[in-house]
Amino acid sequence: MSGARDVWVLAAQCPSRLGTVDVVTRFLKEQSCYITELHSFDDYQGGQFFIRAAFRPELAGFSEASFRDRFETRATEFGMSFELMAPDYRLPVVIMVSKADHCLNDLLYRYRTGQLSIDVRAVVSNHPDLEPLARWHDLPYHHLPITAETKPQQEAQVRQVIEESGAELVILARYMQVLSPELCRHFAGRAINIHHSLLPGFKGAKPYHQAYDKGVKLVGATAHYINDDLDEGPIIAQGVESVDHSHYPEDLVARGRDIECLTLSRAVRFHQEKRVFLHGRRTVVLAG
């Protein structure tokens, strides 16, 4: 996305039909808006069209409300749904963690330095360990312990914190609890998870030690939207790195942490910049 402070983003999708690109680009020209970035994709199998345009108004007095009203008329003709994002929009988020600090630390650093255009409203955890890190960033920290018996009550508290914060995205930055199907459905398309993704996949305890025992040659991570199938939600971003026989389990863990941080931050950025479109159980990511 352009670094210019006056760049807006229009993201839209509709059924595939003639004129889908034209309805966006022609409208922007008519509104004296200069397109700085344009990406589109037509899924001929699914019959759906996706487009994202970053643009800069060329005339003074640009009105968001007027733009929305006028484009709504054009979009309706195509059955097109759309989102309009203003310049310097900061996505309000809540971050959920357990004990591992690498993803949280990376996200908060990118937040503090402006690399991610997010507004962190709170940190939620089932452990007290990372409260000093959140406090250092002057962020509210909600320690909400959980057991099998208290899971419904704890998830109700989690949901209350998120809703009262006004967060539009929940980031599970190594939150090591399985969310209930009900909570997953409530935050569908609004919660991103990160987990190790090794080839082959290793589930359970010490996945990197399992990988070492098998002599893997690739380690990786996957960032995806949550759903009620464990780690099976629509994928947003993946990272992978080559390793070899000289990498011991602790080396794989270190590599994995780095990849998890990069992959999660990339997924959050794609979501914040309106580059991700949910398409059934898949995503379309217009990342350029």
Catalytic residues, which ones?
Answer: 231
Q: How many CB atoms lie within 10 A of CB 31?
A: 17
Closest by Cα among 187, 205, 272 to 236: 272
Contacts (Cβ under 8 Å, ≥6 apart) of 51: 11, 12, 13, 20, 21, 24, 38, 39, 40, 41, 286
Kindly write down the DSSP assignment for every residue of 217-246, as one continuous string: SEEEEEEEE--SSTT-SPEEEEEEEE--TT
Token pair recorded at residue 183:
């909570």
Phi-psi region of 100 (alpha: psi -120 to 50; beta: other; left: phi over 0): beta
Opening angle at CA 283, ends 279 and 285, nearest 5: 125
Token pair recorded at residue 175:
């939150």
User: For the stretch 149-168, what's the b/e string if a residue is b when 16 or more beta carbons lie within 10 angstroms of its beta carbon?
Assistant: eeeeebbeebeebbeebebb
Cα–Cα distance, 49 to 56 (Å, whole number): 23
**Cβ pair 13, 49 in contact under 8 A:** yes
Maximal C-alpha separation, the chain: 64
